[in-house]
Amino acid sequence: MGFSMSQSEKPGGLNRRSFLTATAMGATLPVIQQARAQQAESAPADPRAPVDVKLRINGRDQSLRLDARTTLLDTLREHVGLTGSKKGCDQGQCGACTVLVDGTRVLSCLTLAVMAQGSEITTIEGLASSDGALHPMQQAFIDHDAFQCGYCTPGQIMSAVACVNEGHAGTNDDIREYMSGNLCRCAAYPNIVAAINQAKNEMRKA
Amino acid sequence: MRPFLYERADQPEAAVIAARIQGQQQAPPTAAAAQFIAGGTTILDLMKLDVMQPQTLVNVGKLPGTIEMSDQGLRLGASVKMAEAAENEIVKRDFPVIAQALQLAASQQIRNMASLGGNVLQRTRCPYFRDVSYSACNKRNPGSGCSALDGHNRNLAILGTSDKCIASYPGDFAQALIALDAQVETLGPNGGRSLAFADLHKEPGDTPNIETQLQPGELISAFVVPTGAWTRRSLYLKIRDRESYEFALASAAIALDMDGQTVRGSRIALGGVATRPWRAREAEETINGQTLNDETARGAAEAAFRGAKVYSHNAFKVELGRRTLARALLDAGRMEI
Ligand SMILES: Cc1cc2nc3c(=O)[nH]c(=O)nc-3n(C[C@H](O)[C@H](O)[C@H](O)COP(=O)(O)OP(=O)(O)OC[C@H]3O[C@@H](n4cnc5c(N)ncnc54)[C@H](O)[C@@H]3O)c2cc1C
Ligand code: SF4
Ligand code: FES
Ligand code: FES
């Protein structure tokens, strides 16, 4: 991408001042171009102005206009209508908001929606197959009564799917250690371990 | 949360430029107008609590970063995720203390998100620092006093404190880095530099708001850990209120160079008990050249905590810290390598 003065004056994080300072610093041209290429993903100069955010959630593209402060969790729940992911603490301390980003489990309460652009996001709503058949982990949670109130359950299930895929569900001790980021106030822990043991075998078969 | 401008950097140089343009040079990095965000697991948490208030966030979480062996030793890129480093085969085999310190930290979700660079800069879990409804906190609000001195200080530090701040440094990975004499490479507005990891963090003294030697807009790019006879015989022992997903009450990072039962050289760092990553030189000097046994391990542990200063709720950390260190030394001595 080439650049001209008028383009570099476009409102954006890295504007004309960036260009000048970068030159003064003796930065090389590719670096400046790199920096300028990022304008597309930066918020406008008014921090309160909404930002265009493109997300891919459960295989569907979503174009949203969001306040840059919006977490991925609030985006899912308040803007996309996917209320399966739960807000327990909003501080990274409970795991109720766990989703998969490019197959990796993360906390959506400590992820900004703008940071999740370009990734494949999977929530509890995206786990069952399109014909409605439950994922083996969902079925196993039902079979083993692995919940009481159910508030932590979407996070537990997303975390459990990743735990198996990571190869961290070998022993009960492994399961307990690698599921420690998901708290259950109802203490369904023994049932959760049993459910994961059932599902891990079926997931291997699948 | 206060509004902020958001930018993503694809190259380290672009990140430094972006932070420099938006930033002001006087404040420490944690109070600068422009700040970096990598995994966000510290900074977003503290922004929600209104403890951190950047006006611009520069996302450095997607910068390239790798784990490799070089002539100088193990090189860990700052944007490598905790989980990736913890599960790396070279790290696990040749630098077990690093793998274990990372593995025993936080949860798998957080380890998947958090970067190594952000990890060493995580901020204290002092309850008064995190809660802005307490006005007195010198770290958050310089000159306002310290609520923890007469407050709930069970989790706070006994080494390296001052009458201005007794907040404990909460991280685990940093203890492995300081024990193994790691270097930190940075890129800043004035170019690149390399400094000893031991010099990165500061004790609180009169300015607990200044936590590191970093300048605003200075980006950590990598950690370099020299290899030695001691790196394979190394471990991390972490003692906490629950077995997992909890910060250390006391921990020890140990690396030993043994000649039979004799300690040829030792490297010891302590977590959970100090205001910054803490190298226990007195303990090393006590044990070096000695036969490793219950008695000498205990001697090293006594030496490590000789300068401890306790507060109303944390006196238990002295004995807990000693026992943690003694046990870790004996465990390291028994390692089969
Ligand atoms: C519930 C919970 C439990 C936890 N338990 C533990 C534990 O047991 N042990 C432990 O060690 N940690 C623990 N942590 C802390 C966690 O490990 C850190 O929050 C994490 O490592 C920070 O990395 P990050 O990439 O998310 O940093 P960020 O939050 O993105 O950044 C942290 C700070 O570093 C700065 N920064 C980031 N990258 C760079 C860079 N490359 N150069 C310069 N500055 C940079 C940012 O500006 C910010 O000030 C826990 C956290 C939570 C929420
Ligand atoms: S110990 Fe430090 S961080 Fe905690 S209240 Fe006192 S000054 Fe603030
Ligand atoms: S809501 Fe995200 S960890 Fe609790
Ligand atoms: S089922 Fe109620 S919190 Fe887990």
In the block, tokens 């090393």 appear at: B284
> Each residue's pLDDT tens digit in chain B (337 positions)?
999 999 999 999 989 988 877 655 678 999 999 999 999 999 999 999 999 999 999 999 999 999 999 999 999 999 999 999 999 999 999 999 999 999 999 999 999 999 999 999 999 999 999 999 999 999 999 999 999 999 999 999 999 999 999 999 999 999 999 999 999 999 998 899 999 999 999 999 999 999 999 999 999 999 999 999 999 999 999 999 999 999 999 999 999 999 999 999 999 999 999 999 999 999 999 999 999 999 999 999 999 999 999 999 999 999 999 999 999 999 999 999 8
pTM for this entry: 0.93
The residues spanned by each domain of chain A are 16-205
> Within a domain: residue B144?
no
Give the structural domain span for B318.
234-333
Q: Which fold is adopted by the domain A16-205?
A: Ubiquitin-like (UB roll) (3.10.20)
> Within a domain: residue B308?
yes
- 3-state SS class at A116: helix
Of A31, A44, A107, the CB nearest to B11: A31
> Within a domain: residue B75?
no
Q: At what angle do helices B12-22 and A29-37 cross, to 10 degrees?
A: 70
> Within a domain: residue B96?
no
Residue located nearest, by CA, to atom 32 of ligand 1? B118
B207 Cα–ligand 2 center, Å? 11
B18:A35 CB<8 A:
yes
> Within a domain: residue B257?
yes
State how beta strands B183-188 and B73-77 pair: unpaired
pLDDT at A26 over 60: no
Rg (CA), chain A: 21
Question: Cα separations (Å) of B111 from A104, A173, B52, B157, B159?
Answer: 11, 19, 22, 25, 28
> Within a domain: residue B175?
no
Q: Which of B4, B6, B103 to mutate to test the interface with A (most CBs of A within 10 A)?
A: B6
pLDDT at A190 over 80: yes
> Within a domain: residue B306?
yes
Q: In chain A, how many H helices and how many E strands?
A: 8, 5
Q: Which of A115, A163, A164, A176 to mutate to test the interface with B (most CBs of B within 10 A)?
A: A115
CATH of the domain at B303: 3.30.390.50
With beta carbons under 8 A apart, name residues in chain A contacting B3. Answer: 47-48, 67-69
Which ipTM was obtained for this model?
0.96
Question: Cα separations (Å) of B46 from B22, B219, B305?
Answer: 20, 20, 32
With beta carbons under 8 A apart, name residues in chain A contacting B10. Answer: 34, 37-38
Indicate the number of domains in chain B: 1
